[in-house]
Amino acid sequence: MIEIRIHGRGGQGAVIASKIIALSFFMEGYEVQSFPSFGVERRGAPICAYTRVDDKPITLRSEIYSPDHVIILDYNLIDAVNVWEGLKENGTVLINGQEDMIRNMKLRAPRIASVDASAIAIKHRLGSPTSPIINTAIVGAFARFTGLLKFESIEKSILQETPVKQKENVIAAREAYDNVVIYQ
- Cross-strand partners of 36: 49
Selected residue with higher pLDDT from 80 and 184: 80
**CB atoms < 10 A from the CB of 15, how many?**
21
pLDDT band at 46 (very low <50, low <70, confident <90, very high): confident
Question: Burial level of 94, CB count in 10 A (0-12/13-18/19+)?
Answer: buried
- Predicted confidence band at 106 (pLDDT cuts at 50, 70, 90)? low
Predicted pLDDT of residue 104: 66
Name the phi and psi angles at 14, rounded to 5: -60, -40
Encode pLDDT of 124-149 as tens digits. Answer: 999 999 889 999 999 999 999 999 99
Domains of the chain (ranges, CATH numbers): 2-182 (3.40.920.10)
Does residue 92 have a pLDDT over 60? yes
